[in-house]
Structure 1
Amino acid sequence: MTELPGWMRPPRPEGWLAEDLDNLPDAPRHTELIDGALVFMMSPQRRRHSSIVFSLRTDLTRQAPEGAVVDSEMTVRLDKYNRPEPDVIVSTASIAGDATWYEAKDIILAVEVVSPESVHRDRTVKPHKYAEAGIRHFWRVETEDGDASTAIHVYELDDLTRTYVPIGIFRDTLKVDLPFPIELDVQSLYG
């Protein structure tokens, strides 16, 4: 048995910290930190997933107000033990060119496109963490009917309970006023 790479061993008993994520030589590309544990995707990204992410990023960029930044493949620092990587984010602040993460306080929308290997994290773990961190809007993109159609589940943060409440499930046209006016043809996201 070959020895495990050094980046697979937490440097302290309580696990990894958010700042450790930037110092992991040879770690897989999409490495996230959830509760002090590294989570990485070793399987190749599916075409449907990457197409939806690209389309969302393009459509949101086109509709975003001045000063809003739409990004993907970046982590969000929720706290010292959590730096997940939403599939798409909208931030009110830009970051330096060599930065690797956004601050949760600046994120106005986090989007997760559910894949077979991320179902539990995208439906349960990440929304809970995003809500606790105060991210006001969360979308979960799911495939339905055996991958024949797409649905976007839209949520807004309830300040009292610090949890997300459902706004709606959109299968044809998504039209919302918050976090800014957005209109999307849901079924055209994958094409």
Structure 2
Amino acid sequence: MQALTLPLPSGDTWTRAEFEALPEDLPARVSLIHGELVVSPRPRPIHQRIARRLATRIEDTAPAAWQVDTDVDVLLDDDENEPVEIAPDIVVYSADHDPYERPIPAELVTLVAEVVSPSTKRKDRRTHPELYAEAEIRHYWRVETDQTAPAFAIYTYELDDATGRYVSTGIHHDRIAFTSPFDLDIPLKDVRGR
């Protein structure tokens, strides 16, 4: 197995330019959180399958004003010393954004979803939702698989303007139906199936 070798940042923390200069074909997922480089293992096939299937169903119902992608960089905080750039499992963002450009600015994102894996439980349940809320992304979905919870479920949240935190809008086992950010009705049997 080949060792992962990354360049060192020019200062105490990583800049956005240094982060974005990293090769796209790294053998691990890499995020930038408050100027710190965070390296995670690549997800298991079942994780990717669930994310892909859910993204496809969201995309099938999304109006033309929105586009849906998986594992793409979202710029949550452009702070010069402590930038935050993460690639959620699913991103629903404005069709005004050029899909050839990265990262996607948070203000163009309406929904992010994370599929929880054994190695990402803490990030997907605590750290990332706080960062998404701080960036004022309106909707957050957390997909709990049978690897990480007693049963497959999608936990949905919406940003509360008064507190700046997410509030629960439901737990979905068989079907997910919403009118915001747009009308969607997705049976979950085909998303979670092997």
TM-score (norm 1): 0.88
Pair 1:4–1:27, CA change in 2 (3 A): closer
Q: Matches of residues 26-175 of structure 1 in structure 2 within 5 Å?
A: 27-28=26-27, 30-42=29-41, 44-80=42-78, 81-144=83-146, 149-175=151-177
Letter in 1 for 2:186: L
Letter in 2 for 1:104: A
Q: What whole-Å deviation, never above 9, does each CA across 1:112-148 have from its counterpart, x for those lacking one?
A: 0011111111110110000010100000000248778
CA contact (8 A) 1:143 1:150 kept: yes
CA contact (8 A) 1:18 1:79 kept: no
For residues 129 and 153 of structure 1, what CA distance do their matches in structure 2 show?
A: 17
Letter in 1 for 2:60: R
CA contact (8 A) 1:75 1:85 kept: yes
Letter in 2 for 1:83: E
Pair 1:73–1:146, CA change in 2 (3 A): closer
Query: Would you tell me which structure has more helix in proportion to its own residues?
Result: 1
For residues 153 and 57 of structure 1, what CA distance do their matches in structure 2 show?
A: 15
CA contact (8 A) 1:69 1:94 kept: no
Superposition deviation, residue 176 in structure 1: 1.2
Query: How many aligned positions are there?
Result: 186
Superposition deviation, residue 29 in structure 1: 5.1
SS in 2 for 1:83: strand
Pair 1:103–1:145, CA change in 2 (3 A): closer
CA contact (8 A) 2:134 2:164 kept: yes
For residues 65 and 190 of structure 2, what CA distance do their matches in structure 1 show?
A: 26
For residues 4 and 106 of structure 1, what CA distance do their matches in structure 2 show?
A: 33
For residues 145 and 27 of structure 1, what CA distance do their matches in structure 2 show?
A: 25
For residues 189 and 30 of structure 2, what CA distance do their matches in structure 1 show?
A: 29
For residues 28 and 99 of structure 1, what CA distance do their matches in structure 2 show?
A: 22
For residues 16 and 175 of structure 1, what CA distance do their matches in structure 2 show?
A: 40
Superposition deviation, residue 188 in structure 1: 1.9
Pair 1:96–1:172, CA change in 2 (3 A): same
Structure 1 vs Structure 2 CA RMSD: 2.2
Superposition deviation, residue 164 in structure 1: 0.1
CA contact (8 A) 1:59 1:184 kept: yes
Pair 1:4–1:71, CA change in 2 (3 A): closer
For residues 71 and 4 of structure 2, what CA distance do their matches in structure 1 show?
A: 26
Q: What whole-Å deviation, never above 9, does each CA across 1:51-92 have from its counterpart, x for those lacking one?
A: 111111110110001120101121100112100110001001
